[in-house]
């Protein structure tokens, strides 16, 4: 029988107007998309919708916790999310009611979905039908198609599923839940990023939550380094959860065993940008970026701050266009996808990174697709990514800071609502591709190369 597989990921539904990263326009498109998918189900074509992780975002709901370790509290948070995004869940229920198969997988922002209470609420909300929810680090294999969220390959966001499994058992028995070992990336969001939201509304768009964001966070507010021992410990903990640990000795960080070299390098860059060559730091005397900018109008000072911001943005995005190039992927995800292709999968799909990708793999006609996100994305000046355009980049950043001062951030936020479509016949993929959804069933093929729609000033 013919089957059409639609895969979306990283909806990140949740949070009030301040913390939500899937905002009104993205939500409206998502509801429209789901109704369109429901209409694709027919007697001759079976539809299977996969929501591949981070469907909701518990980290965006107060009380802010890296893991809400109480079944009733997690259920209450999910009820709040459903109420805020009612149109989407009504549309999701319509997909189930159409007779289509719907499968949810677990990400790293929606771990609480696997607890008994939230899981029951999700099932009730979607209604009776063909629904499956995968957790316990399961991937979804459909013939020669492999689907997984992808966070297992990210040392900052790998989940301790043994700890999570124990919590589910305890919750099902009505017992007190032991603390769950939340991913270090979740701790970074709750302990650092959420505290910066009042002044820096874009900060929770820095995805994924890895060491790459640390220098930019330090430039925005150097006081985050008051917690640097904890950040370093989280980085070491993250490395310990990965098989490819690499112990190093880094200046000032020798006391943290097993730290990955890229984490140590990011922390060293962040320290240098935040404090320069200063050895002793009085955190109480430090100003965040905006406070210093507003208090000091001297040209030399502002040029220095723009230089720091430029270096921090470059570090976050990567030295070249790889972040927003659909044909380039970070090594950890690319290598994992190649391993799956070697094992016989012709289509490998991840999410997690929020960056849409389409890459041919070196085994037969295998392909890797990353389904990006339906949440908002930073709209990045192309000049920041260009080696020979530093002056233009700093000019653009001056405009960015001016808008930041006046809370005019709308022009720096964009959306790229992407989905994968895979057509299967007898469990074998016949075609697969990635599309941008534009509304009312209209969609366009994801272009190759740089995503110009997300790069301000890209010509």
Q: How many CB atoms lie within 10 A of CB 195?
A: 16
Q: What confidence tens digit (pLDDT) does each residue in 52-87 have?
A: 999 999 999 999 999 999 999 999 999 999 999 999
Tokens of 436: 């941008």
Rounded CA-CA distance 252/255 in Å is 8
Minimal CA–CA distance to 118: which of 31, 48, 28, 55? 55
Q: Which residues of 157-172 are buried (b: 16+ CB within 10 A; e: fewer)?
A: bbbbbeebeebbebbe
Is residue 248 predicted with pLDDT exceeding 50?
Answer: no
Q: What confidence tens digit (pLDDT) does each residue in 278-303 have?
A: 765 555 557 899 999 999 889 999 99
The per-residue pLDDT of the chain, averaged, comes to 89
Task: Report pLDDT for 345.
Answer: 97
Task: Report pLDDT for 240.
Answer: 59
Minimal CA–CA distance to 272: which of 226, 317, 219? 219
Is residue 250 predicted with pLDDT exceeding 50?
Answer: no
Q: Which residues contact residue 318 at a Cβ distance below 8 angstroms, ignoring those fewer than 6 apart?
A: 212, 385
Task: Report pLDDT for 232.
Answer: 65
Rounded CA-CA distance 249/378 in Å is 34
What are the CA-CA distances from residue 459 to residues 297, 316, 327, 378, 436 (Å)? 33, 22, 18, 18, 20
Task: Report pLDDT for 197.
Answer: 92
- Name the more confident of 341 and 387: 341
How large is the C-alpha radius of gyration of the chain?
Answer: 22
Max mean pLDDT among 214-228, 249-263, 333-347 falls in 333-347
Q: Locate tokens 């994924």: which residue?
A: 208
Q: In the structure, what pLDDT confidence band is assigned to residue 457 with cuts at 50, 70 and 90?
A: low
Minimal CA–CA distance to 59: which of 166, 176, 195? 195
As a whole number, mean pLDDT of residues 115-133 equals: 97
- Taking domain 2-180+326-378+412-456, whether its CATH number is 3.90.1150.10 is answered by no
- pTM for this structure? 0.93
Is residue 406 predicted with pLDDT exceeding 80?
Answer: yes
Residues of the chain with CATH 3.60.21.10: 2-180+326-378+412-456
Is residue 312 predicted with pLDDT exceeding 80?
Answer: yes
């Amino acid at each position: 029988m013919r089957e059409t597989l639609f895969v979306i990921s990283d909806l990140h539904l949740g949070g009030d107007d301040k913390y939500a990263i899937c905002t009104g326009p993205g939500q409206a498109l998502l509801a429209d998309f789901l109704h369109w998918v429901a209409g694709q189900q027919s007697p001759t074509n079976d539809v299977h919708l996969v929501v591949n992780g981070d469907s909701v975002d518990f980290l965006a709901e107060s009380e802010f916790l890296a893991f809400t370790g109480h079944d009733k509290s997690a259920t209450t948070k999910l009820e709040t999310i459903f109420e805020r995004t009612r149109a989407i869940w009504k549309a999701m229920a319509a997909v189930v009611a159409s007779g289509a198969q719907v499968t949810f997988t677990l990400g790293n922002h929606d771990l609480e979905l696997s607890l008994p209470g939230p899981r029951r609420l999700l099932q009730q909300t979607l209604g009776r039908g063909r629904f499956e929810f995968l957790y316990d680090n399961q991937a979804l294999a459909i013939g020669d198609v492999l689907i997984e969220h992808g966070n297992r390959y990210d040392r900052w966001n790998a989940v301790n599923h043994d700890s999570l499994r124990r919590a589910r058992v305890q919750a099902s028995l009505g017992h007190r839940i032991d603390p769950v070992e939340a991913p270090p990336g979740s701790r970074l969001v709750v302990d650092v990023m959420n505290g910066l939201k009042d002044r820096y509304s874009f900060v929770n768009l820095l995805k994924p939550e890895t060491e790459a964001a640390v220098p930019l966070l330090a430039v925005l507010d150097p006081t985050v380094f008051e917690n640097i021992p904890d950040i370093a410990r989280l980085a070491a903990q993250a490395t310990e959860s990965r098989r490819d640990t690499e112990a190093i000795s880094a200046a000032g960080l020798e006391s943290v065993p097993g730290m990955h070299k890229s984490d140590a390098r990011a922390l060293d860059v962040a320290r240098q940008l935040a404090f320069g060559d200063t050895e002793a730091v009085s955190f109480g005397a430090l100003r965040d970026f905006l406070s210093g900018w507003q208090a000091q109008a001297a040209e030399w000072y502002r040029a220095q701050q723009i230089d720091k911001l430029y270096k921090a943005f470059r570090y976050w995005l990567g030295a070249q266009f790889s972040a927003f190039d659909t044909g380039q992927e970070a090594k950890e995800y690319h290598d994992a996808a190649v391993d799956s292709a070697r094992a016989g999968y012709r289509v490998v799909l991840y999410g997690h990174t929020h960056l849409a990708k389409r890459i041919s793999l070196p085994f037969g006609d295998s392909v890797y697709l990353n389904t990006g996100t339906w949440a908002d994305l930073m709209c990045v000046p192309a000049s920041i990514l260009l080696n020979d355009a530093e002056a233009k980049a700093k000019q653009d950043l001056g405009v960015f800071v001016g808008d930041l001062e006046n809370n005019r951030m709308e022009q720096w936020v964009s959306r790229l609502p992407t989905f994968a479509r895979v057509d299967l016949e007898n469990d074998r993929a016949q075609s697969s591709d990635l599309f941008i959804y534009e509304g009312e069933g209209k969609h366009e093929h994801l272009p190759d190369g740089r995503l110009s729609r997300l790069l301000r000033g890209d010509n």
